[in-house]
Structure 1
Amino acid sequence: MLSDFKSQFIEISKAITPIILVILIIHFLFIPDFSISNALVLILGSLMVTLGIALFLVGVNVGLIPIGNAIGSDIPRSGSIVIILMTTFFLGFLATIAEPNVRVLADMIQIVSENSIERLQFIMVISVGGGFFIATSIFRIIYNVPLAYLFSSGYLLVLLLLFFAPPDYVPIAFDAGGVTIGSINGPIFLAMGIGVTSILGGRSAISDGFGLIGLASLGSVISILIMGIVAL
């Protein structure tokens, strides 16, 4: 685990250091009152961010991904498609509720809309859409449904809903699709799809185990558009 943390820390440092250097150069050149103390605060904050991300990624590799693999490889053994779909739906629903990106967007929407779109309601609608399409993705893997069919039908539904949804909800819906998958639920969903594929004979982990992220994002877009239509 220590070696994993060290490698993650080095990789993140390589990514963040150029950004910090550019910020420091811009501040010293164009902001006269930018002091050395401000620079030290920026460097200290960047170090804390690097440590936090490295620890988080170690936690993902040690905890979240194995959990997703275990769930994905175990639930098909039940032999009941109802149990499989219910389990994956609730897992997708709860993981999306826990996703920080969703909560940040919900807070911003509530502020901008002056509480006309409630934070909790917004999170629940996104989570239902994400959970439904995660369950649909597992159904697709088990029954070998082509991914193109689901995406084409899903986006056709989005185009249809755009004619009826309030204009204010359209950009919110697409932003919701962008934040649905993040650092918490993304690894779980991917690992779960690969886990399901691993116990099905004659399946490719690449062609069958992926696609869950895109479908979950699509589910959030659809659910927010429907929410707007219902709110009319």
Structure 2
Amino acid sequence: MDSIKETIIEVVYSILPLTVVITILQFTLIWLPTEVFIQFLIGVVLVGLGLVLFLLGVNIGLQPVGEMIGSALSKTKKLWMIVLFGVVLGIVVTIAEPDVRVLSSQIDNVSGGAIPKSVLILSVALGVGIFVGLAMLRIIFNISIVYILITGYGFIFLLAVFTPSTYVPISFDSGGVTTGPLTVPFILALGVGVASVLRGKTASKDGFGLIALASIGPVLSVLLLGVIYG
């Protein structure tokens, strides 16, 4: 019950400021049609209920499972297996990420189908998966995250020179949407699980930074997509 109560309070605090601001604007500046404003209020209630159920599912199921999978993979002591499943899990959790699907739908509509929805989702998922695999290698070999970030963003700026300008903002938005409510807790839990077994619980901090690394992958993959389509 405490978990449910905390989740409800968290969701209320998350959506209440936006609701208050739009309500104030409604009666001061924008004056939306009444039916539109009522639809907004209904949408707020539905979003709130959905977020409560979603976050409960994440906290009850995804986080514990992610950490247990990371621990189990590490106990095998097989490098290829840890990296392979890191890539696979990174891909599938990104495909399931709601933010990625929203972005791909909007881009598909705006571009008139020039950038297919399925192609964008797949490229973003592959980018995340590959860099989650690299993050596993970083944890295993204790590589400084600074070197990987510098190298990754160096390639990003280099590719941006050769990519059509349309794809550059899309690529950075693609990196942002991978930090959604489904991807973040699962990948973080996976990294913490791997690090806690390989170097003890005192080194669990090595499990963090995965999201920073994972968000580089989709930026690079969409920029490469721009080079190909451009």
| Same fold at TM > 0.5 | yes
Could you tell me which residue of structure 2 aligns to residue 189 of structure 1? Answer: 187
The one of 171, 196, 205 equivalent to 1:173 is: 171
Report how far residue 181 of structure 1 moved.
2.4
What are the equivalent positions in structure 2 for 1:2-21 lying under 5 Å apart? 2-21=1-20
The residue number in structure 2 matching 1:218 is: 216
Work out whether residues 99 and 181 of structure 1, in 8 Å CA contact, stay in contact via their aligned partners in 2.
no
**Contact map agreement 1:5 1:55 (CA 8 A) in 2:** no
Q: Tell me the CA shift for residue 7 of structure 1.
A: 1.7
Compared CA separation, residues 201 and 45, structure 1 to 2 (3 A):
same
Report how far residue 15 of structure 1 moved: 3.6
Give, in whole Å, the separation in 1 of the partners of 2:116 and 2:213: 25
Aligned to 1:137: 135
**Identity across the alignment (%):** 40
CA contact (8 A) 1:193 1:209 kept: yes
Deviates more, 1:19-28 or 1:176-185: 19-28
Pairing partner for 1:125 from 115, 123, 148: 123
Matched, 1:228 2:222: no
Aligned to 1:23: 22
Give 1:1-232 correspondences, 5 Å limit: 2-30=1-29, 35=34, 42-201=40-199, 203-206=202-205, 208-232=206-230
**Which deviates more, 8-17 or 60-69?**
8-17
Q: Report the residue type matching 1:154 in the other structure.
A: G
The letter of the residue matching 1:116 is A
Q: Is the 8 A contact 1:177 1:218 kept in 2?
A: yes
Equivalents in 2 of 1:18, 1:88: separation in Å? Answer: 37
The answer (yes or no) to whether the contact 2:25–2:31 under 8 Å persists in 1 is no
Contact 2:127 2:221 in 1 (8 A): yes
Structure 1 residues 56-65 or 20-29, which shifts more? 20-29
- The offset of 1:64, in angstroms, is 0.5
Mapped partners of 2:17, 2:167: distance in 1: 37
Q: Distance in 2 between matches of 1:137 and 1:42?
A: 41
Q: Which amino acid aligns with 2:143?
A: V
Gaps of 5+ in 1: none
Give the superposition deviation at 1:49: 2.2
Q: How many residue pairs end up in the alignment?
A: 229
